[in-house]
Amino acid sequence: MFLLLPIYSLSISTFPVLLTCLPPWEFSVVGSVDRKLSDLERSVSNLTESVSLHLSKLHEKVGNLETKLSDLKRSVLNMTERVSFHSSKLPKKVGCPDGWNLHNSSCYFFSAYQASWYTARDSCRSMDATLLILTDEEEWVFVNIMSVGRPFWLGLSDERTGEWEWVNESPYIMNRSKWMPGQPDNWAGHSIGGTEDCAHITSGKLNDNHCTVAYTFICKARPAPN
Ligand SMILES: [Ca+2]
């Protein structure tokens, strides 16, 4: 009587015992299975060793990457602190809105479009600015340069009282050298009626004209701190 156990239920250690119970013609089959099992064990062992080796290398690479990432974070932190330190040493800048010119701590807007004196005044106000009031000779020179060849409304009018005054109702001290020859003449020949009560500047010289005439204009504002 032979044992009829399935081969896969046998371990290698049980084979010597079992072999004594097998007939001779079964030895070759068992021997073949034994070799295959041994080969399989070697393959598994080699594979385990290989996986272990790769895992070890992978862990080493991850460790290196973590070290580099840590170094990089420190570098970024150092650079951020240095930029912050140097930024704090920079003088505070003043800023004008886009399209405005900064000059002597004031912002100037030279419009590209034309409008009546009234619309120009209101447009400046809507931008928290004032239709230009010229305050000193240096500012005259700046505006002269910027107004070459084009008329710009200024915040100067005699419509309210008959006397020339700035748009903030401060008095204008007449200086005829600043006016075109023969101006202001309060000319009344306009087809639209009325006289000339508003002043514009062209190439550094003033002239009075009808307030409804459309000219470009200059607004002035204080710069906003950044
Ligand atoms: Ca005139």
User: In the prediction, which pLDDT does 14 show?
Assistant: 53
**119 within domain boundaries:** yes
The pLDDT, as a whole number, for residue 67 is 79
Does the residue 156 lie in any domain? Answer: yes
Q: Is 1 part of a structural domain of the chain?
A: no
- The count of other CB atoms within 10 Å of the CB of residue 157 is 25
d(CA 166, ligand 1 centre) in Å: 17
The rounded Å distance from CA 209 to ligand 1 centre is 5
Based on the domain organization, do 105 and 211 belong to the same domain? yes
Query: pLDDT by residue for the chain (226 residues), tens digit each?
Result: 444 445 445 555 555 555 566 666 676 777 888 889 999 999 999 999 999 999 989 988 888 888 788 888 887 777 767 766 666 666 555 689 999 999 998 999 999 999 999 999 999 999 999 999 999 999 999 999 888 889 999 999 999 999 999 999 999 999 999 999 999 999 999 988 999 999 999 988 999 999 999 999 999 998 876 5
Supply the range of the domain harboring residue 46: 7-89
Q: Kindly give the distance from the C-alpha atom of residue 185 to the centroid of ligand 1, in angstroms, as a whole number.
A: 5
Q: What is the pTM of this model?
A: 0.59
| CB under 5 Å of ion ligand 1: residues | 183, 185, 187, 196, 207-208
Q: Are residues 83 and 101 in the same domain?
A: no
Bin 128: left if φ > 0, else alpha if -120 < ψ < 50, else beta: left
Q: 3-state DSSP call for residue 220?
A: strand
On whether the CB atoms of residues 204 and 147 are closer than 8 A, the answer is yes
Q: Smallest Cα–Cα separation from 207: which of 182, 190, 171?
A: 182
Helices (H), the chain: 15-19, 24-89, 117-126, 137-146
Please give the tally of structural domains in the chain: 2
148 CA distance to ligand 1 middle (Å): 18
